[in-house]
Amino acid sequence: MSNPIYLDNAATTQMSDAVKEAMEPYLMENFGNASTMYSYGERAKEAMEHAREIIAHTLEAKPSEIYFTSGGSESDNWAIKGIAGEYKKKGRHIITSCIEHHAVLNSCGYLEKLGYSVTYLGVDAYGMVSPKEAEAAIRPETTLLTIMFGNNEVGTLEPIRQLGRIARGNGVLFHTDAVQAYGQLPISVQQEPVDLLSASAHKFHGPKGVGFLYLREGVKIPSFIHGGGQERGKRGGTENIPAIVGMGRAAELAAERLRMRLRREAMLRNYMIEKILHEIPESRLNGHPNKRLPGNISVSFRGVDGASLLILLEEDGICASGGSACNTGESRISYVIEALGIPEDYAAGTVRLTLSRNTTRAEVDATVASLKRNVARLKEI
């Protein structure tokens, strides 16, 4: 069998050669600790600050607003628990949506155990949060609104600008989990009224185990790890320099010709969606038809078991997923698919195909052919 066709880029992406090359010197020769004074340490510190500048630049933020973390989950945990703790004198109410990633949902659930109250906004049939409902949920004791930029399962882009304006107009801080969007779409914190933003390197062809939190100047947050003075005293512990350098390089590459790549990827995505809906009877697209992540396709096939379909796809060398990677192993229908109210006879037959900048038209064609054959096979059983 030839190379696998990898269509699970929402779960993780392949690190690019250029990223690996940027990291290599910091794995071996330049092993210095960024907190020491001699030249080894200086070199590590300079490389780390260079990565911070690159990332800040991509967001039109200041380098001092970027904090390195171990990834998207940590950034979400820090943002939510941190703001909830820092501003608890004002109140103990948070607003989120019911289709967030578990890093957000479980952080909110933890706060509920501590006595906070959380409003979980529902979504429409496309998976979109209503800004009106968000505004209506705000109370005098609300401190934080946290809504994802783009959904990892169904791809829908949330109305971030409107939500941010509502939060700001009501004295509420706004956090967005942009793990699926950063590096795929241009995002500017000058344009978007977000106060905190989470991102993760392995979702944009960087290494695993590293990410960042953007924190708007003036917004207070307690330290996430108490220790040394790293990350301006907010996150103690010797920094993972090779990973941070790799993330900086990946962010730089993701920003290059971003608008052109975005268009190309969205066109290939649309081509694939149309081909599936046209060639496979009783198929439907989940999520918004055009306000969606450039690489995301979530489709459901009526009367087909999604898990069996994934196994047959794998036999054809195609990697796809059911809901999010975090839900594999559980056979029940994903909470996101449930929240969209997708008809039951379709919901169980849901697969997610996520493209990357490396996906080719030939791979798309081969995948649709495999889907077509295998959906028909499963319907015969």
Ligand X SMILES: *Cc1c(COP(=O)(O)O)cnc(C)c1O
* Residue ranges binding ligand X (CB under 6 A): 71-73, 76, 101, 103, 148, 152, 177, 179-180, 200, 202-203, 211
Helix (H, G, I), strand (E, B) or coil at 164: helix
How near is the Cβ of 353 to ligand X at its closest, in Å? 15
SS3 content of the chain, % helix, strand, coil (to 5): 45, 15, 40
What's the CA gap between 100 and 220, in Å, rounded?
24
Which of 31, 110 has the CB closer to ligand X?
110
Whether 201 and 13 have beta carbons less than 8 Å apart is answered as no
Residue of 246, 231, 236 whose CA lies nearest to 26: 246
What element of type H or E holds 351? strand 350-354
Residue, CB closest to ligand X: 72
**108 an active-site residue?**
no
Q: How far apart (Å, rounded) are the C-alpha atoms in residues 151 and 342?
A: 16
In the complex, what is the shortest distance from the CB of residue 325 to ligand X, in angstroms, rounded to a whole number? Answer: 8
98, 108, 319, 326: the catalytic one is 326
Closest alpha carbon to 193 in 169, 221, 228? 169
Q: Least separation, in Å, of the C-beta of 315 and ligand X?
A: 27
Compute the least distance from the CB of residue 151 to ligand X, in Å: 7
CB-nearer residue toward ligand X: 208 or 372: 208
Q: How far is the CB of 36 from ligand X (least distance, A)?
A: 28
Measured between alpha carbons, how far is 53 from 64 in angstroms, rounded to an integer?
9
User: Sign of the C-alpha dihedral, residues 192, 198, 204, 210?
Assistant: positive
* Residue 153 φ then ψ, to 5°: -95, -50
Q: Which tokens hold the place of 235?
A: 């996150």
Residues with catalytic annotation?
A: 326
